[in-house]
Amino acid sequence: MGFKKLLASLGAGGASVETVLTEANVAPGGVVQGEVRIQGGSVSQEIEGLSVGLQARVEVEGNDQEYKQDIEFTKVRLGGAFTLAENAVHAVPFALEIPWETPITSIDGQQLRGMNIGVSTELEIARAVDSTDLDPVDVHPLPAQQAILDAFIQLGFRFKSADMERGHIRGTRQKLPFYQEIEFFPPQQYRGLNQVELSFVADDREMDVVLEMDKKPGLFSESSDTFRSFKVGLHDYQATDWTAYLNQWLSEVGSRRNWL
């Protein structure tokens, strides 16, 4: 990866920066490590600040419009001000904690389309601020999350899509300003359902699991959404047969169509 030019508005000869991740594969609650390398230009410059953060591109709905917005949901400042000498190279290591609520971007080695999460780098020089392109990270499920996902697959559900939406899931422990929805097509035995949307909201002890089940319309009724939620411990999830547990709930809602 070549150095990425920053602060083009300052003209030629300015500093450039490159961010190198030690390991791009992480899990919620983990740490992504790396190094920011700043290459001095043709003149000495005063660096006022350097920071790295995690950024996600999320969907925003409002005023009958839908658009994408980049949201930085964690940020770490790396040291204080310093002078970057002409042509000098300054390397700054960092460790960035991954919030427990961070959405999953990869399942069983498969990248989830639409999941755009990465490390952003911000450099401040002489009261000007500019950022590099994102350095993508692959966020893998926690073991408890993988157990729920595996149960959906064993029940015959097929992955449809995933997205991140700005907003809050009521009744959960959510702290981030957005949440993830993983959408599945149901198998034939749940013929009363159009699709199921799955959301995880975790902390360091347990997580809220939220199901939004889109029911097909009946003869005298329109389609409707049914919500179910439950809590799963991150360390004692193995005590439950999640395939049977989910099947009971999904069958109550989707085993047959509501005709009335």
Region 9-34 average pLDDT: 84
pLDDT > 50? residue 258: no
Query: Around 39, how many Cα atoms within 13 Å sit in the side-chain half-sphere?
Result: 12
Region 233-237 average pLDDT: 97
Give the chain's mean pLDDT: 87
In angstroms, rounded to a whole number, what is the distance separating the alpha carbons of residues 174 and 156? 29
Query: What's the predicted TM-score (pTM) here?
Result: 0.86
Where does the pLDDT of residue 131 fall: very low under 50, low under 70, confident under 90, or very high at 90 and above?
low
- Per cent of the chain over pLDDT 90 is 63
pLDDT > 60? residue 8: no
Most confident segment among 137-141, 246-250, 255-259: 137-141
Where does the pLDDT of residue 7 fall: very low under 50, low under 70, confident under 90, or very high at 90 and above?
very low
What does the pLDDT look like over 81-120, one tens digit per residue?
888 888 889 899 999 999 999 999 999 888 998 899 999 9
pLDDT > 80? residue 37: yes
In angstroms, rounded to a whole number, what is the distance separating the alpha carbons of residues 86 and 88? 5
Please report the pLDDT score of residue 209 as a whole number: 98
pLDDT > 60? residue 222: no
**Spatial CA neighbour of 204 closest among 32, 25, 29, 31:** 29
| Count of residues in the chain | 260
Domain limits, the chain = 4-139, 143-254
Q: Which CATH architecture has domain 4-139?
A: Sandwich (2.60)
Where does the pLDDT of residue 45 fall: very low under 50, low under 70, confident under 90, or very high at 90 and above?
confident
